[in-house]
Amino acid sequence: MWTYLAILFGFVGLAAVFVHRDMSNKKNAVHKKAQAIANASAENQETEEEKKVRLSREEKDQVEDLCKRGESLINSGKDEEAIKCFVQALSINAQHPETQQRMALLYLQKQMYGAAAALFQQLAQQTKDPMHYSHWGLALYQQSDFENAKIAYQTAVDLDPSRPQRFISLSQVYKALGQLANAIIATNKALEIEGKNIEFLYQLADLQAETGNYIAAKETLGQLFAVDEGNVAAKALLKEITFL
């Protein structure tokens, strides 16, 4: 009996070894297949990238010519024809920044803010240029999309804090959102760069008056009058807050 049991356990153990080997082989086969698929995908991706490079070399001159032709048409007042040229250029190379920028600016001038915002968003994400973020913010602001305009303008000033007008634009967005304290902070940032700018001083005084800080508003208007004592808008604001 013990002999039969020994033989039985021996068969069971041997079967377990074969099962384990079979599972290991299947597992390895799955890994090898997955790796083969990944390698094939990578090879295809490289082929597509090479194809894009090859196509861009072949059609680069055509895109440049279309972009220049569009510029010429704009200078001749033929905006609609210029848009057709830009669209044709972008159908060849959708990521051509010069064409994207010129077309976006044209849309902005024609008050086609949705189209302008879409193009400036692409440009901003592609180039990380603060100018593109600033224009994107303007297009969004014109559509009353103040939350996203705030993000776009904030990114612009983070990338390049040397341009005071961007802080003023950000201040106007904050004002539209009812965030007057942040609007004042942004305006003061602009004044740190251009302390005698009449537009900036008036905006600060107006914000201070709107928050009820009339003393600060009068002091700011005093700084403005030191630069332009006959400023009509500032005199009207001073008269308004004097009787409050």
Mean pLDDT for the chain?
82
More confident residue, 142 or 97: 142
**pLDDT value of residue 32:** 43
More confident residue, 56 or 12: 56
**pLDDT value of residue 60:** 83
Instruction: Please state which of the ranges 13-27, 109-123, 138-152 shows the lowest mean pLDDT.
Output: 13-27
Q: CATH homologous superfamily of domain 164-244? A: Tetratricopeptide repeat domain (1.25.40.10)
Same CATH topology for 61-160 and 164-244? Answer: yes
Domain range summary for the chain, segments of one domain joined by +: 61-160, 164-244
pLDDT tens-digit map of 26-81: 444 433 433 343 334 334 434 445 545 565 577 788 888 889 998 888 888 998 99
Residue 173 · residue 137 · CB < 8 Å: yes
Looking at the structure, give the CATH architecture of the domain made up of residues 61-160. Answer: Alpha Horseshoe (1.25)
